[in-house]
Structure 1
Amino acid sequence: MKVIAYDRFRPGVTMETITPLLGEEVANVWRLWKLGVVRENYARADEPGVVIVFEVASVDDARRYVSDFPLSKAGYLEWFYLPVQAPLPLESLMDPSVDVAEPYDRTTTR
């Protein structure tokens, strides 16, 4: 399951507040990225913060990973979670005459 998690600074927290922990925070996310737990990581464009796409079994798993982040442990961030899935059945959105039969992958191999 993919879970999109995004954060927001708690009131009174500034970039200066979090700067001492950023190296440790980034290293933690990088370790999870190498494990395949973090699939994507973005800086927010609307305000300071990040958006992380997790590949986990549940929202609770994403919460557990986030709770181990140094900035979360310090109480500097508020997190929000959005579990997402493919909008199935996709075929229902298509023209009924479109061939959606197996095999789905019709690439040729040499």
Structure 2
Amino acid sequence: MKILAYDNFKPGVTLDDLRPYLRDEVSNVWRLWKAGIVRENYARADVGGVIIVFELASVEEAMRYTDDFPLSKAGLLEWHFIAFDAPLPLEFLFDPTVDIANPGTGR
């Protein structure tokens, strides 16, 4: 399953508070990316922070990873999680006569 995790800086936290941890934070996420645990990683456009998409079995497992991040251990972040999975195969909703062949193949 995919787990979307996004963080918020705790009240009063500034970029100067984060700076000493950023190199280790980024290295940690990169290791998880190379291991296939982190699938996507984005900077938030609305506020400071990140969005990480994990490929894991549960939110609890994602929480164990985020709890181990240097910024989390320093008490600078709050994390929020959304679990999502593949939708119901849509062809089950269609009449069996509806063409569900691969687009562009004509088959």
Q: Secondary structure at the match of 1:87?
A: coil
Q: Cα offset for 1:97? A: 3.7
- The unaligned stretches of length 5 or more in structure 1 are none
Note the C-alpha offset of 1:63. Answer: 0.3
CA distance in structure 2 between the partners assigned to 1:16 and 1:73 by the alignment? 16
Q: Partners of 1:61 and 1:89 in 2: how far apart?
A: 26
TM-score (norm 1): 0.85
Task: State the partner residue of 2:79.
Answer: 79
Q: Partners of 2:29 and 2:102 in 1: how far apart?
A: 33
Stretch of structure 1 that moved more, 5-14 or 83-92: 83-92
Match of 2:7 in 1: 7
Structure 1 partner of 2:22: 22
Q: Paired residue for 1:48?
A: 48
Q: Name 2:35's counterpart in structure 1.
A: 35
CA-atom RMSD, angstroms? 2.2
User: Identity of aligned pairs, percent?
Assistant: 63
Tell me by how many angstroms 1:85 deviates.
1.2
Once the two structures are TM-superposed, the CA of residue 54 in structure 1 deviates from its matched residue by 0.1
The CA deviation string for residues 47-78 of structure 1, in whole angstroms up to 9 with x for no partner, is 00000000001111000000000000000000
Shift of the 7–95 alpha-carbon distance from structure 1 to 2, 3 Å rule, reads: farther
Structure 2 unmatched ranges of 5 or more: none
Q: Tell me the SS of whatever aligns to 1:99.
A: coil
Q: Which moved more, 1:91-100 or 1:67-76?
A: 91-100
Helix, strand or coil at the partner of 2:18: helix
1:8–1:91 distance in 2 versus 1, CA, 3 Å: same
> In structure 2, what is the Cα distance between the partners aligned to 1:6 and 1:96?
40
1:59-70 to 2 correspondences below 5 Å: 59-70=59-70
